[in-house]
Structure 1
Amino acid sequence: MALSISLVLLTGVIVVVLWRLGYLRFWPTTTVALFGFSLASTGIAPTIRDAITSVSGWISNISF
């Protein structure tokens, strides 16, 4: 759960920064957000969630 909240906060900050810099426009951004909500209710949502979890686990295991 902590990872989900962190990922949501990180992507939220990125969206706000891009919006403020003028790289995002209202209608394309709204369309992509609606697509994301629609995609979350399909059968592929668990696969996407598992891929994000495995990539984040892989990144957290990298030691510098």
Structure 2
Amino acid sequence: MIVSMSAVLLLGLLIWFLLRIRYLRWADFLICGMFGFLLAATGAGPLVRTALVGLSTFLGQLSF
């Protein structure tokens, strides 16, 4: 758990830095994918999933 939390933190900082300098390439997609998989393995995974389900439910109820 400690290793995955530190990896999540490092990859999150790397993603933030790449977005900040607007340097986006195919490697960024791989980094974001690794970040997502590691985030899902931490204790924050269920919270993120619940938030995404709530957001998708809210957006699904909107009518245009």
**SS class of match (1:63):** coil
Distance 1:39 1:62, change over 3 A: same
CA shift, 1:63, in A, is 2.0
CA shift, 1:28, in A, is 2.0
Alignment deviations for residues 1-60 of structure 1 (CA, whole Å, 9 cap, x no partner) = xxxxxxxxxxxxxxxxxxxxxxx5232221111111111100001111111111111111
RMSD: 1.8
**SS class of match (1:30):** helix
Task: Tell me which of the two structures has the higher relative contact order, counting C-alpha pairs closer than 8 angstroms and 6 or more residues apart.
Answer: 2
TM-score normalised by structure 2 residue count: 0.54
**SS class of match (1:52):** helix
Unaligned runs of 5+ in 1: 1-23
**Aligned equivalents of 1:29 and 1:61: distance in 2?**
30
Unaligned runs of 5+ in 2: 1-23
- Which 4+ runs in 1 deviate beyond 4 A? none
Question: 2:42 maps to what in 1?
Answer: 42
